[in-house]
Structure 1
């Protein structure tokens, strides 16, 4: 029976109508979800329902040999065994064509390699499926994967069927692209929310010494990096300070060459010793990226993260996020340093105010009392010994208290500390009537907190000599060797029997000196015997673990000695 021209037109029109209806239904299905896998599964099921075909599956494809089996419908038992293992392993002819650039449009696959493997390995019933059509999923010049469609006994797809499948694949590709853009927007929104949370958190950290530990822990928890490291630039080195690995924070505090700073400027990290140390902490060399903490042109330190994936697989947004985190940290560090300086200035101002008040009120009144006692003595009857002795005692006591008050004022406001610890303690000893012989072996710069500690310990030691040693001479030795500052104060006075095991019975002054030293991680020793004088020794290691990170970011003082 011959088909007339008019009948052919009616059949073509009907086919066009069916295709349009099919594409319309597919489009409606794709628009129902923004989640990729559920969307692909539902559109595959709908496509098979409309076209009356039996079986289909979708691969999303990356660089060879990586692909993802993301959707399937009515797979024969031979391909569905072991949780669909045959579909998730090894390559096949359609993927080979995709990777080598030969799959640019819908084609007939003469034989399915996965089906052939199933028959050869006797994996089970193939359901009569031998061939399938393969269609590249693409949109806007970007390729995403492969759509495979087949039916039992169907060994060939007509051109109009392939064209329909090609149109459907284009719709799927467009939907994938839209879904990816939506996902990126959601990810960007989530990242901005996380950055806001992180910024609020680090801005509240007021103590600079708490920064490394709190920052690495927060970054790992908030942004899901498996390993995080915090480096701090010091005067002559870059220090790997703290790491977060295996859910725990660890203080490393190992120093490396400043050459790392230039590596960071060049956006690389090639120091072999540092890389080896990071690997010991669980960082994977080729899965690690680093970013500098910068303020203007100055590099303050670095953040290093590892997420157990290749650097090439890090998204650009990951790198931008890490850079934003580093900027937050750098600003917060500067803020904490400024707050620390502000507190120090406020404390210094309060000490100065108290020193002025003592000088202007109590000090002047004690001086007036001494003069009054001296004047009364001149007018008192010589024969009244009790009155004369009482006035002498008043004058002596007022002079002692006045001297102690001047020493207290000096402690509150040590004028001339910028001249160095040695010169300042020498002047302070002179104010107590003690001649201090100062010996200095070398000079260095030290953190202000150590300078303050040495000053207060030296003050208390000279006070003890003045009160108890019954001598007017003392020796002060200051040394700086191998990053360690040591101060020794020696007198040849009466001395006392010192026993470390019963330390609590000694004066509050000795206790405060030891506590001040130990609080900063220093070493404190005292050697004294009756009739042999006393020697006090304190040591602080500026670069090792002894300071426990307490001075790394403090404002530097002047010349130490």
Structure 2
């Protein structure tokens, strides 16, 4: 008798093992193995709950559920809790349990939900493998109110086989997902190098990352003082450029995720980007030793593969941004060289010819007995050629501001004096400015001084340069005739170009002017 029972158990385990080894798709595998288990044991009904956390479960497989539990697309099996799940979540379900009165069946009878077909009890077995729990297996038959120790031992063996198979499939799916993610990453990184502008690059990374990996939300924070700035987010299939500063209290979880190097649960919706509680993972983006931003994603959960991908995207992002900076500097050098070439050509050709024209007109005026009409014409030619030379010297200075290395304010003062202005200069703070910032401040200052020279009707001008650890601020003030800002707009006086220069470096330009009350131009550039 014992030999026959042992033979049946071995047959059961063999049948289950063959079923488990045939599939790499979890749900069909669980359904098939449950059907085989009931078939070889003679039990009538069974179902499998998988759980990813407390109060989170799904009914992944079922066989011959009573009508009361199968109604409304098995709604009673998908909602609520029961004794076996509570024990499982509380970690008190460590082995097969002999007969549990089923709360779902009791509720079905109490609320008269339908026929329970004589099923009142079931055995419950946890699905585990290598110390990891995945859910529970429930089996029973109408009228059966107890299982023998041998039956429970067999169910534990089957449950262990199922748990091992679940773990195997999860590992397989994780590796498959990992391979797919790296293929998407390869496609994403190929596109990154097509963008030369850092701002466009950031938007492209956020867009493609969210599009490629199907996370609920992907975004990027620019490192800034005093508050970090949310550059852009990708959510619900749409990229949105935000450019909004976030206070420190809203950044707590994202900074914690960066510091710990692992996902963090959002608490009480403190992070205002997502309407419901979620998990946030974030990676710091660094160019050499400079912390320039944070790439982050929101999702219900992050696998090891997801964490690897976010880190890889952040690393590629840092390299691409560094490359874009190198490209920008190279373009600046090319542009500077072209300006120098134009300045040399103008000086060696046009300026010399204008000088010759002026001298020729002056010499012709000194010829004896020159008619008055001709003498007046020669005087006009001499005066116009001298004015043209002055304008040419100004143009050459604009193309090649020789002496800017001596200091920004010194160069602006020299330029103002060259225009016939009387500048009053003041500098507060000291810090070596990056070349792009110094160049932009000089060009904006140049344009402002030109406008004063041409339109203000005064010669006095005040220049103030304030430099802090965070920004450089240049203010140009005159007490001239001023202008109507609404009437003039940004398309004259070079105002549009000045604003674009400031914007390209993440700065701002403000202009305040009224008729007969002068003009104040102020540019702020972050360092």
Mapped to 1, the partners of 2:83 and 2:277 lie a distance apart of 34
Pairing partner for 2:26 from 36, 40, 56: 36
Hey, what does 1:205 align to over in structure 2?
195
Distance 1:365 1:201, change over 3 A: same
The verdict on how the C-alpha distance between 1:268 and 1:328 changes in structure 2, with shifts beyond 3 A counting, is closer
Match of 1:291 among 260, 269, 283: 283
Structure 1 residues 430 and 122 mapped into 2: Cα distance closer, same or farther (>3 Å)? closer
Partner of residue 267 from structure 1, selected from 260, 271, 276:
260
2:81 pairs with 85, 90, 96, which one?
90
Give me the whole-angstrom Cα distance separating, in 1, the residues matched to 2:57 and 2:423.
Answer: 80
Q: Is the 8 A contact 2:463 2:477 kept in 1?
A: yes
Relative distance call for 1:90 and 1:426 in structure 2 (3 A) is: closer
Following the alignment from structure 1 to structure 2, what is the Cα–Cα distance between the partners of residues 465 and 102? Answer: 84
Residues 1:351 and 2:339 are matched in the alignment? yes
Which residue number corresponds to residue 436 of structure 1? 422
Distance in 1, matches of 2:269 and 2:460, equals 48
Say yes or no: does 1:303 pair with 2:295: yes
Quote the Cα distance in structure 2 between the aligned partners of 1:201 and 1:68.
Answer: 39
The equivalences for 1:263-412 within 5 A come to: 266-267=259-260, 279-282=271-274, 287-307=279-299, 309=300, 314-375=302-363, 380-383=367-370, 385=372, 388-412=375-399
Contact 1:54 1:152 in 2 (8 A): yes
Measured in 2, the distance between the counterparts of 1:201 and 1:278 equals: 34
Cα pair 1:267 1:291 within 8 Å, conserved: no
Match of 1:515 among 473, 477, 496: 496
Mark the CA change 1:276 to 1:349 in structure 2 (over 3 Å): closer, same or farther.
farther
The match for 1:538 is: 521
- Answer whether contact 2:280 2:296 (CA < 8 A) is retained: yes
CA contact (8 A) 2:43 2:140 kept: yes
Q: Can you list the C-alpha shifts for 1:386-445, whole angstroms capped at 9, x where unaligned?
A: 55555444443333322222211111001122444432232223334x142323263466
Q: In structure 1, how many angstroms separate the alpha carbons of the residues matched to 2:28 and 2:174? A: 18
For 1:186, what is the secondary structure of its paired residue? helix
**Higher Cα Rg, which structure:** 1
Tell me, which stretches of 5 or more residues in structure 2 are unaligned? none
Residue 228 of structure 2 is aligned to residue 244 of structure 1: no
Q: Of 142, 166, 179, which residue of structure 1 is paired with 2:169?
A: 179
Shift of the alpha carbon at 1:470? Answer: 7.9
**Number of the residue aligned with 1:4:** none
- The farther-off stretch of 132-141 and 155-164 is 155-164
Deviation at 1:71, TM superposition (A): 1.0
In the other structure, the counterpart of 1:547 is none
Give the Cα–Cα distance (whole angstroms) in 1 for the partners of residues 396 and 94 of structure 2: 89
1:453-488 CA-to-partner distances (Å, cap 9, x unmatched) read: 5534543455466667787x4323325499784533
Indicate conservation of the 8 Å contact 2:218/2:234, yes or no: yes
Question: Does 1:138 find its partner at 2:124?
Answer: no
Going from structure 1 to structure 2, the CA distance change for 1:24 and 1:208 (only over 3 Å counts) comes to: same
Q: TM-score, normalised by structure 2?
A: 0.80
| TM value normalised by structure 1 | 0.76
With over 3 angstroms needed to count, the CA separation of the structure-2 counterparts of 1:219 and 1:98, relative to structure 1, is closer
1:138 and 1:263 map into 2 onto residues whose CA distance is 32
CA deviation digits over 1:111-157, x for unaligned, max 9? 54544454444443322234444444333444333322222333444
Q: Determine if contact 1:422/1:438 at 8 Å carries over to the other structure.
A: no
Segment of structure 1 superposing worse, 287-296 or 455-464: 455-464
Q: CA deviation at 1:211?
A: 4.9
Count of residue correspondences: 509
* Contiguous gaps of at least 5 residues in structure 1: 1-7, 543-551, 557-561
Deviation at 1:514, TM superposition (A): 2.2
**Which residue of 2 is the match for residue 53 of structure 1?**
43
Structural RMSD (CA): 4.1
Does residue 253 in structure 1 map to residue 239 in structure 2? no
